[in-house]
């Protein structure tokens, strides 16, 4: 039997896992989320969520991958036959996310260039939606946005080449280059941002604790939501990556290191972003609150404005910012794409290169939809629904299946403890069997309530139906469909109980 690929070094695995975790979510999602949910007071629920759900789930996924040695569907299917579909469902979700994530990285590549020549002009918002995206109406494709095609091709070329080369020489080497580079670039950005006038006001706004927020359940849900998304949990990623760990690998400690590294980067991003926002607020005579934004708006509309206001070397600062987005994004894109490359290769007994060509090729073609003039609306809608009713729901199914249906937590705990420095105890099982399902369940109900009250972003109902609900629920069906075929070879090359 072909030997399973393995990471070359522990650091290699850790950097790849951090590369997946540290993504656009850290840079553009965390700062605004923290600010809007209590500022300095947000750190309490955030830390609580990290310790009671984020790291425990990460340990669970690492242990499953290490113990069952397969892609997410294969590993979960080996635990219990019926769980295979949860793995495929998560793989389908990752596939869908990869199709638009690639396009955002392509935008960032173009913006890195625009930063150098200030191509976005004074009105950065109308540049982004108008000149740059030629935005049409929701649901209208409206032709292809040609300038995105070349950077998009570059994004896919890099990703698929890295994956085609393999785990050790491809994914590991790429992350060993990307992640340290990202940290250095980002540190330069943060230091520069901190030396701008008004930076202190920005930080003050960011860290100012609003203790009343602690009493608001919505703030706790936001903290858990941020942690789940940010740690790439329930994307099938961490199971896949840990399935390449050598036999003797610490699991629990690795999960703590990944979790803390990811949160540290998140905090760093919060500091950098708010220092820059404080500067812009001062320059434009506004309050910090008036300039806060998250997501695409922060990166592609507000940051260009900040760059416009900068006194010296603004082009370099802008270039570094968008280069950071590209690096953070690429290492995450590599990780989600690997989930379906691994799953498809194992299921259809294909070589890695063939699986990359088929899976990656299909994803690249679908990504053209988001490179159309109507792309922004498709992207926004698919992203919203796939995160709220894909990732969160699949995560809920995963913990409930493992903790309650298979009653596997004790076995997983024994497996992790036989290998790790830090010992898991009853606290770990309580976090997974009780805290995580309760929070995820509550989060889903809350999301659903808001969804039914008003159309997301006021988009037409039909559009939301096809590109929101059908996509999110479709991932579940595609997952089920994939289980029809039997695995070509399902014996473990390493007996489960070996240490
Ligand atoms: N942790 C990633 C982030 O913060 C989430 C993610 C991973 C998204 C992989 C897409 C792909 O952006």
Does residue 498 form part of some domain?
no
- The CATH number covering residue 243 comes to 1.20.1740.10
Q: Considering the entire predicted model, what is its pTM? A: 0.96
Structurally, the chain folds into a number of domains equal to 1
Mutate which of 18, 29, 95, 229 for ligand 1 pocket (most atoms within 8 A of beta carbon):
229
What's residue 499's pLDDT?
Answer: 39
The mean pLDDT of the chain is 95
Q: Is the per-residue pLDDT at 75 higher than 60? A: yes
Ligand 1 atom at minimal distance to the Cα of residue 335:
9
Q: Ligand 1, atom 4: nearest CA belongs to which residue? A: 25
C-alpha 20 – ligand 1 centre gap (Å): 6
**Is residue 432 pLDDT above 60, yes or no?**
yes
pLDDT value at residue 490:
79
Span 65-94, average pLDDT: 97
Atom of ligand 1 nearest to the CA of 329: 12
Instruction: State the residue for tokens 């950065």.
Output: 124
pLDDT in tens, 5-22: 999 999 999 999 999 999
Q: Which residues line ligand 1 (CB under 6 A)?
A: 20-21, 23-26, 97, 101, 229-230, 232, 235, 332, 335-336
pLDDT at 498 over 70: no
> Does 491 score more than 80 pLDDT?
no
pLDDT digits (tens, 9 = 90+) for 203-230: 999 999 999 999 999 999 999 999 999 9
Domain extent at residue 367: 10-486
Residue with the nearest Cα to atom 9 of ligand 1?
332
Question: Looking at the domain assignment, is residue 3 inside a domain?
Answer: no
Share of the chain above pLDDT 90, in %: 95
Answer yes or no: is 1 within a domain: no
| Ligand 1 atom at minimal distance to the Cα of residue 333 | 11
Question: 497 lies in a domain?
Answer: no
pLDDT digits (tens, 9 = 90+) for 327-360: 999 999 999 999 999 999 999 999 999 999 999 9
Note whether residue 64 is domain-resident: yes
pLDDT tens, residue by residue, 98-157 = 999 999 999 999 999 999 999 999 999 999 999 999 998 898 888 999 999 999 999 999
The reported pLDDT for the residue numbered 3 is 76
Query: What mean pLDDT comes out for the span 415-427?
Result: 97
- The 10s digit of each residue's pLDDT in 54-68 is 999 999 999 999 999
pLDDT in tens, 298-311: 999 999 999 999 99
Q: Which one, of 245, 310, 255, lies nearest residue 424 by Cα?
A: 255
pLDDT at 494: 56
The answer to whether residue 168 is domain-embedded is yes
In a domain, residue 493? The reply is no
Res 74: pLDDT: 97
Q: Is 250 a member of any domain? A: yes
Looking at residue 150, what is its pLDDT? 98
Residue 477 has pLDDT above 90, yes or no: yes
Lowest mean pLDDT among 140-144, 248-252, 421-425: 140-144
141 Cα to the center of ligand 1, angstroms: 26
CA of 499 to the centre of ligand 1 (A): 31
Q: State the average pLDDT over residues 256-275.
A: 97
């Amino acid at each position: 039997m072909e030997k399973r690929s393995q990471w070359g070094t522990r650091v290699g695995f850790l950097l790849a896992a951090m590369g997946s975790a540290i993504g656009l979510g850290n840079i553009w999602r965390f700062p605004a989320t923290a600010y809007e949910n209590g500022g300095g007071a947000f750190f309490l629920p955030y830390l609580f969520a990290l310790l009671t759900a984020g790291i425990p789930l990460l340990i669970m996924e690492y242990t499953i991958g290490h113990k069952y040695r397969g892609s997410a569907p294969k590993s979960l299917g080996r635990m219990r036959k019926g769980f295979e579909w949860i793995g495929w469902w998560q793989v389908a979700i990752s596939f869908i996310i990869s199709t638009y994530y690639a396009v955002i990285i392509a935008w960032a590549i173009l913006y890195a260039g625009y930063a150098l020549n200030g191509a976005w002009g004074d009105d950065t918002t109308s540049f982004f939606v108008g000149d740059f995206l030629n935005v049409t109406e929701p649901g209208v494709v409206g032709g292809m946005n040609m300038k995105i095609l070349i950077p998009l091709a570059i994004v896919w070329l890099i990703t698929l080449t890295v994956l085609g080369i393999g785990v050790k020489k491809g994914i590991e080497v790429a992350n060993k280059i990307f992640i340290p580079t990202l940290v250095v670039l980002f540190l330069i950005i943060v230091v520069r941002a901190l030396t701008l006038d008004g930076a202190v006001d920005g930080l003050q706004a960011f860290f100012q604790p609003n203790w009343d927020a602690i009493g608001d359940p919505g703030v706790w849900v936001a903290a858990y939501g941020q942690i789940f998304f940010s740690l790439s949990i329930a994307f099938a990623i961490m199971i896949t990556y840990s399935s390449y760990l050598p036999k003797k690998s610490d699991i629990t400690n690795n999960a703590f290191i990944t979790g803390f590294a990811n949160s540290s980067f998140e905090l760093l991003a919060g500091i950098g972003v708010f220092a820059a926002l404080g500067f812009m607020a001062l320059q434009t005579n506004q309050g910090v609150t008036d300039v806060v934004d998250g997501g695409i708006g922060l990166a592609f509309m507000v940051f260009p404005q900040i760059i416009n206001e900068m006194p010296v070397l603004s082009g370099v600062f802008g270039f570094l910012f968008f280069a950071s987005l590209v690096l953070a994004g690429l290492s995450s894109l590599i990780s989600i794409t690997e989930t379906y490359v691994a799953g498809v290769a194992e299921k259809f007994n294909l070589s890695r290169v063939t699986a990359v060509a088929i899976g990656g090729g299909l994803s690249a073609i679908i990504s053209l939809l988001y490179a159309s003039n109507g792309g922004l609306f498709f992207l926004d809608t698919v992203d919203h629904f796939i995160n709220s009713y894909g990732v969160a729901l699949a995560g809920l199914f995963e913990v409930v299946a493992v903790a309650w249906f298979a009653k596997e937590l004790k076995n997983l705990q024994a497996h992790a403890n036989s290998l790790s420095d830090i010992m898991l105890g009853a606290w770990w099982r309580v976090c997974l069997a009780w805290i995580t399902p309760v929070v995820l369940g509550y989060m889903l109900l809350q999301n659903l309530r808001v969804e039914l009250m008003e159309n997301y972003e006021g988009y037409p109902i039909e559009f939301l139906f096809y590109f929101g609900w059908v996509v999110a629920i479709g991932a579940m069906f595609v997952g089920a469909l994939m289980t029809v075929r039997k695995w070509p070879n399902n014996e473990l090359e390493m007996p489960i109980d070996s240490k």
